[in-house]
Each structure stands twice: as C-alpha cells, then as structure tokens.
A and B are shown apart, each in its own frame.
Chain A
Amino acid sequence: SAVISQKPSRDICQRGTSLTIQCQVDSQVTMMFWYRQQPGQSLTLIATANQGSEATYESGFVIDKFPISRPNLTFSTLTVSNMSPEDSSIYLCSGSGYTEAFFGQGTRLTVV
C-alpha cells in the first residue's frame, strides 16, 4: 500500500488565521479525501479532491472555508481559513487504492 506523509502533525493557531495542511503520497492516486475527526469520534468527510478539477465538498463544508488544491496525482493541500475554536479537530487525508484506503498521520489543530 502507499504511504502518505502529512504535515504538520499538530499546530496551535490564533483565531482568524489560516493553516494549510499538506499531504504527499509516495505513489500516484486518482482521488484524495480529506476528513475531520473530533476526538473519540468517527471520520467526517470534508471533500474529495481530483487532479485538474475543483474539489467536491460534502454538505456543511464550503470551498471558502476549506480550499483544497490538487496540483498532481501525488500531492494535495487543505487550508482551514479564518479559524475559530470550533475548527479545533484532527484533520486526516486519505488516498484510495483499488483494494484499500491509506491515511496520513493526521494533523491535530487547536485554535485559541
């Protein structure tokens, strides 16, 4: 399976600022997925990112708040914009192969 390097692993940010999370995959994947996970909870899909097209967002998530880039088949970024304490969470990126999904190590974001 592929390996995804996700950075940063954690950050503490001031409200009103933005944070960009990066995911680098060691092989090409068609789709990448971005999730948010509250502590002790399941994963909530934010958006699906395909190279060369605008990301597809799930209900409750908008591009202005969570812009995503997918410049090539091995890289993607998620920006959390104009942060508030409610954005404090774990953010995970994922890529899917034919028979399994693999994940980055997660970013623990705390907004103060």
Chain B
Amino acid sequence: AQTVTQSQPEMSVQEAETVTLSCTYDTSESDYYLFWYKQPPSRQMILVIRQEAYKQQNATENRFSVNFQKAAKSFSLKISDSQLGDAAMYFCARGVPSGNTPLVFGKGTRLSVIA
C-alpha cells in the first residue's frame, strides 16, 4: 500500500522555539509531490509547503522548511520561531501531478504552542 506515516500524534513547542514534525511515505511513482497542510480549529485546510520530488533543494516558506530525503522516503517539516497561531493539526500528504487522483494523507500531528 502506498501510505503516508506520521509517527507523532502530538507535539508541543515553546513560543519562539523550533519544532520538527516527522513524515515518511511509500510510493512507486517516480514523479510526485509532497505537502504539509495545516488545519486550525476553523477546519480550513491550509497549504503550508510543497516539495516536488524531482527537486533536490529543500522547499522553504518563511518560517517553514522541509528536510526531504528522497532515498529514505522522509519528509519532515521544521517550524522556526514558533508562534501561537501555529497551533493546529498538521497533515503530511503525497500526490501526483495532474490532479486526477486524491492526495494520500497521514494521520496528522497535533501541534501545541506554549506561551
């Protein structure tokens, strides 16, 4: 089965500190995308960051960056300078180009930010 695994059901971080959320995946596709989505209590799924598998350079979006290890099928998310607004469920997901198939999601990691 082509799965996405998030081994940390819950994480917490002090405000202004750095936290890393883990994700591993399995796929037989040669061309795919990896995503981190954030879901706050409002329920809206918000794209945090995207990584194209063919790119070796790790994606970065402001305070958010990934460590993409293709051979190890690992895709972790690092949040720097954590803010109270970062508290949410975070889902790792895998997809393929074209948009004709649904994303495969991990079970999620609930992040708490401590003031």
Residues of A within 8 A of B33 (CB): 99-100
Q: How far apart are A30's CB and chain B's nearest CB, in angstroms?
A: 6
Query: Interface-forming stretch among A61-69, A80-88, A102-110?
Result: A102-110
Q: Which of B43, B47, B91, B97 contacts A108 (CB 8 A)?
A: B43
Q: How far is the CA of A109 from the CA of B100 in the complex (A)?
A: 27
Decide: A101 near B95, CB < 8 A? Known: A30-B100, A94-B102.
yes
- Residues facing A in B58-115 (CB within 8 A) are 89, 91, 93, 95, 97-103, 105-108, 110
Known: A42-B108, A96-B95, A99-B50. 6 other contacts (CB 8 A): A41-B108, A94-B103, A98-B98, A101-B93, A101-B102, A102-B47
Q: Decide yes or no whether A75 CB sits under 8 A from chain B.
A: no
Q: In the complex, what residues of B have CB within 8 A of residue A106's CB?
A: 43-45
Identify 21 residue pairs between A and B in the complex whose beta-carbon atoms are under 8 Å apart, listed by A's number: A1-B47, A30-B100, A31-B102, A42-B91, A42-B105, A42-B106, A42-B107, A92-B45, A94-B45, A94-B102, A94-B103, A95-B99, A96-B103, A98-B97, A99-B33, A99-B50, A100-B35, A100-B50, A101-B102, A103-B44, A108-B43
For window 5-60 of A, CB contacts with B under 8 Å fall at: 29-31, 33, 40-43, 45, 48
- Interface residues in chain B, defined as those with a beta carbon under 8 Å from any beta carbon in chain A: 33, 35, 42-45, 47, 50, 52, 89, 91, 93, 95, 97-103, 105-108, 110
